[in-house]
């Protein structure tokens, strides 16, 4: 049978090439317009959506995806997700030799590099013979006025093996806990401009051995710390939150901050430096409390002047206007919110204990009150041992002390001087004789200053008495 092709036109090869050339030119023009006229962030967003559309997680219904967000807002508070932190630390130890595209960073006070997955990159790992795929995703947060981005991890596994995820996450969390337990460096957390915690490595060198403090007081503090960390079951049995409150009070320069550093290094606890005058409300204070980790020291320095707590003395006015109520602070110290965590220490410091409201000072809020006094001779011996490398820890060595030690001891009994002032004097030379004579000169100068101050006060007092007497005579004459 002869079939006619009449009426059907077969395009020629030349016309096909012409169509191909026109289509190629159109695609090229479209690509140039896409690159030139569409902003880079919009281009990245469109490409990301296209890649997700064609990704296996969209096309294959047999995969299960677990999302691990950086923060948990389910209760109305912006709380850090510790699972996200654990995954972040875990992946940072795995990525440097395996992933194809990484982000690297280093904090200003840190020595180590931090590796993270780049946006849209994947990391594959095998656990108990099953493959898991990690992805790091940054998405826009339209509801936040302070931050434009929200971060989360996506963990993908075959749906028939999704029961394995619980065991895998427990493995990741155990790895994180062991890493935090064995780490050598501590972290110092402070408030960022977004009212959340920002951390750097804490490398303060102070220890109890180098702390210039009366040995008896130092031993009592160490014993109290040891007893606290060993009493988890005790606190649980008596129904109390596993926390301890310390109040450090005394003149400036007597070593309050140094004692905090020594406590942190001794316990291997992170420090959270809470500036209450920057906290906007009681609810923000609760949020910050929820975002602190266990085994940490929360520090509120200069509690008497950092915000306007009412004074216990009549007639005293608060120095500043606080956005935090006293009830909010008390609830933070020993109320329901204070029990959101274990093995925590809260430290308040003040130069004027008498200005604090008695409600802050009772047991259960501030359990231990430590008076940081002026320098004493036992504390000076510790300074001399540290700065001059003199072996003064053995009591039998005291009889072989430097001859100037006797004069220094007599002066310390009559002069108020801080460890910070004497430490500064000891930095002036490496020669023991020069340093000790400088300390004697410092103490004598303070003694003369104190004598002149007392004489001026006595003169002013006598002048006031004479003036009062003269006024009294004049009043009597007027009455007469």
pLDDT number for residue 480: 33
- Binned at pLDDT 50, 70 and 90, residue 58 comes out as very low
pLDDT number for residue 311: 44
Name the least confident of 115-124, 302-311, 346-355, 391-400: 391-400
Q: Give this prediction's pTM.
A: 0.63
More confident call, 10 vs 64: 64
Mean local confidence (pLDDT), 345-369? 86
pLDDT at 85 over 50: yes
pLDDT number for residue 50: 76
- Placement of tokens 């008076």 in the chain: 371
pLDDT number for residue 400: 64
Percent of the chain with pLDDT over 90: 27
pLDDT number for residue 97: 58
Distance CA 422, CA 425 (A): 5
Contacts 24+ apart (CB under 8 A), 389-396: 390/432
More confident call, 381 vs 145: 381
| 200-371 carries CATH number 3.90.1300.10 | no
More confident call, 146 vs 84: 84
Mean local confidence (pLDDT), 186-196? 85
What lies within 8 Å, CB to CB, of 355 at 6+ separation is 304, 309, 311, 312, 313, 316
- Placement of tokens 């606080």 in the chain: 322
Mean of pLDDT over the chain: 78
pLDDT at 171 over 80: yes
273 neighbors 190 (Cβ within 8 angstroms): yes
- Binned at pLDDT 50, 70 and 90, residue 110 comes out as low
pLDDT number for residue 143: 54
More confident call, 34 vs 257: 257
- Binned at pLDDT 50, 70 and 90, residue 476 comes out as very low
Structural domain boundaries in the chain:
62-183, 200-371, 377-462
Mean local confidence (pLDDT), 157-163? 89
Closest by alpha carbon to 272, among 192, 206, 191?
A: 191
pLDDT number for residue 393: 53
Mean local confidence (pLDDT), 68-94? 77
Mean local confidence (pLDDT), 325-336? 74
- Binned at pLDDT 50, 70 and 90, residue 323 comes out as confident
pLDDT at 450 over 60: yes
Mean local confidence (pLDDT), 72-90? 74
Percent of the chain with pLDDT over 70: 73
Name the least confident of 9-18, 96-105, 209-218: 96-105
pLDDT at 93 over 50: yes
């Amino acid at each position: 049978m002869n079939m006619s092709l009449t009426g059907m036109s077969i395009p020629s090869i030349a016309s096909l090439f012409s169509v191909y050339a026109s289509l190629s030119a159109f695609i090229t023009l479209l690509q140039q317009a896409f690159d030139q006229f569409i902003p880079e962030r919009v281009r990245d967003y469109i490409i990301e959506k296209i890649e997700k559309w064609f990704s296996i997680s969209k096309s294959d219904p047999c995969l299960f995806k677990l999302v691990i967000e950086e923060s948990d807002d389910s209760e109305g508070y912006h709380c850090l997700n510790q699972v996200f932190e654990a995954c972040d630390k875990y992946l940072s130890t795995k990525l440097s030799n395996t992933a194809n595209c990484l982000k690297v960073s280093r904090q200003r006070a840190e020595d180590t590099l931090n590796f993270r997955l780049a946006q849209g990159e994947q990391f594959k790992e095998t656990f108990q013979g099953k493959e898991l795929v990690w992805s790091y995703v940054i998405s826009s947060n339209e509801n936040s006025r302070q931050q434009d981005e929200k971060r989360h991890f996506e963990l993908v596994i075959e749906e028939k093996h999704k029961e394995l995820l619980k065991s895998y996450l427990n493995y990741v969390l155990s790895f994180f806990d062991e890493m935090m337990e064995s780490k050598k460096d501590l972290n110092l957390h402070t408030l960022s401009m977004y009212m959340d915690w920002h951390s750097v490595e804490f490398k303060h060198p102070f220890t109890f051995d180098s702390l210039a403090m009366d040995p008896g007081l130092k031993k009592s503090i160490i014993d109290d710390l040891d007893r606290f960390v060993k009493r988890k079951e005790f606190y649980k049995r008596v129904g109390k939150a596993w926390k301890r409150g310390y109040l450090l009070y005394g003149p400036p320069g007597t070593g309050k901050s140094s004692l905090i550093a020594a406590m942190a290094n001794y316990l291997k606890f992170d420090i959270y430096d809470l500036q209450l005058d920057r906290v906007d409300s009681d609810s923000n204070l609760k949020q910050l409390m929820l975002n602190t980790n266990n085994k940490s020291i929360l520090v509120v320095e200069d509690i008497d002047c950092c915000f306007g707590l009412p004074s216990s003395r009549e007639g005293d006015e608060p120095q500043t206007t606080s956005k935090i109520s006293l009830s909010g602070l008390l609830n933070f110290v020993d109320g329901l919110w204070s029990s959101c965590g274990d093995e925590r220490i809260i430290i308040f410091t003040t130069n004027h204990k008498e200005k604090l409201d008695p409600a802050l000072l009772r047991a259960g809020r501030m359990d231990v009150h430590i008076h940081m006094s002026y320098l004493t001779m036992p504390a000076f011996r510790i300074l001399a041992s540290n700065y001059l490398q003199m072996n003064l820890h053995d009591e039998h060595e005291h009889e072989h002390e430097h001859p100037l030690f006797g004069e220094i001891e007599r002066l310390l009994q009559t002069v108020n001087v801080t460890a910070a002032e004497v430490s500064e004097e000891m930095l002036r030379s490496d020669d023991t004789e020069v340093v000790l004579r400088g300390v004697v000169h410092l103490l004598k100068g303070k003694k003369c200053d104190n004598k002149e101050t007392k004489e001026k006060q006595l003169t002013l007092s006598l002048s006031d008495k004479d003036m009062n007497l003269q006024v009294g005579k004049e009043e009597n004459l007027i009455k007469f």
